[in-house]
Amino acid sequence: MLTVVGACVGCFCNMQLRVQESSNLVMHMLVLYGNTGCKMDLTCNGNTVAVIGKMLPECKYTPCIEEHNIHAIFRWTSVWSILQSSVRLDRALQRGPSHALPGVGADTVAMPTADCDQATSHFLQETGLTLSITTLGTCIYRFGKKRHRDPCHADAHQQQHCMPSHSEYSAETEEIIFHLCRYMHHIITTS
């Protein structure tokens, strides 16, 4: 049941919001949690870095700092690039095992192809992903909208704030993001 500060929605009859219309909601932060189920080699020359480097588009990698934290961070500025690379990988797998990458079979989680509409494509281009992986296998996928840094603007702090985008965002867009996340998790877990 929907409750509003302890009160039932049904008790809202006296509230006069008088809201006439609302614009569509747009996601500005989306966090998913998963686990690889195995311990992870997160060192600079380790397996996870090698797998991500081989199977996914270029990203910024921040290694674990010994004694301080036990997670490594991988950042992609645009999840659209991951979607496109997954389509290329799917095609490589369809061409046969000689093109496939080691440890990745045809049962790899199929990605929604680049058939998504222009608004979704635009939204995904503007959306970044920060993946945090711990040595115990915990993965936190954080998708976020950030304004592109423009050196002409002086107030860098303000630029980093999450601002609502005018991009269209729908349940379909969200489903693509969820699917993309499952795809990446499959890559990290099974490659």
Partner 1 sequence: MAGLGGVAAVCDKMLRLHAELPGWTTMQRTPSTRKLTEMINANIDDLPREVLLLNEGKSLQVVSEGNILNIHILKTCTKRNEEHCVLEESEWTCWERAFEVLWEQKFTNPESFNERTYYRQRYVEGAQVGKIDDDVQKVGVDRVRAAGMLAECSSTPEMSRHKRTKRQKIACREENCVGRVKVTTFMVFVLESTTRVFFVSDRIAARNGERNNFSVPKAVNICYTGTVTGTIHPTAISAEMRQAKKRGPCGSEIHVDTSMGVMQIFGNNGGSRKITCKAFLNIVEANYIVRRVCGMV
Q: Which stretch binds partner 1 (CB under 8 A): 2-10, 75-83, 112-120, 149-157?
A: 2-10
Cite the DSSP H helix spans in 65-143: 79-95, 118-125
Cβ closest to partner 1, residue 87 vs residue 137: 137
Query: What is the closest distance, in whole angstroms, from the C-beta atom of residue 7 to partner 1 in the complex?
Result: 7
CB of 151 to partner 1, least distance (A): 25
Any contact of residue 166 with partner 1 (CB under 8 A)? no
Pick the closer one to partner 1 by CB: 14 or 118: 14
Cα–Cα separations (whole angstroms), residue 125 to 108, 121, 155: 24, 6, 23
Q: Which is nearer to partner 1, 31 or 152 (CB)?
A: 31
Query: Cβ contacts of residue 139 below 8 Å, gap of 6+?
Result: 33, 34, 35, 36, 131, 132, 133, 185, 188
Distances (CA, A) of 68 to 38, 65, 78, 133, 169: 21, 5, 29, 14, 38
Residue from 68, 115, 150, 171 touching partner 1 (CB under 8 A): that is 171
CA angle 76, 79, 83 (to 5 degrees): 125
Q: CB–CB of 176/124 below 8 Å?
A: yes
Question: Could you tell me the smallest distance in angstroms from the CB atom of residue 69 to partner 1?
Answer: 12
Nearer to partner 1, 15 or 154 (CB): 15
- Encoded one letter per residue, x for contact with partner 1 by CB under 8 A and - for no contact, window 131-160 reads ----xxxxx-x-------------------
Residues numbered 8-27 forming contacts with partner 1, rule: CB under 8 A:
9, 12-27
Residues 75-134 that bind partner 1 (CB under 8 A): 102-105, 107
CB of 175 to partner 1, least distance (A): 9
Tokens of 132: 């945090």
Q: Which is nearer to partner 1, 15 or 152 (CB)?
A: 15
Beta bridge mates, 142: 31, 130
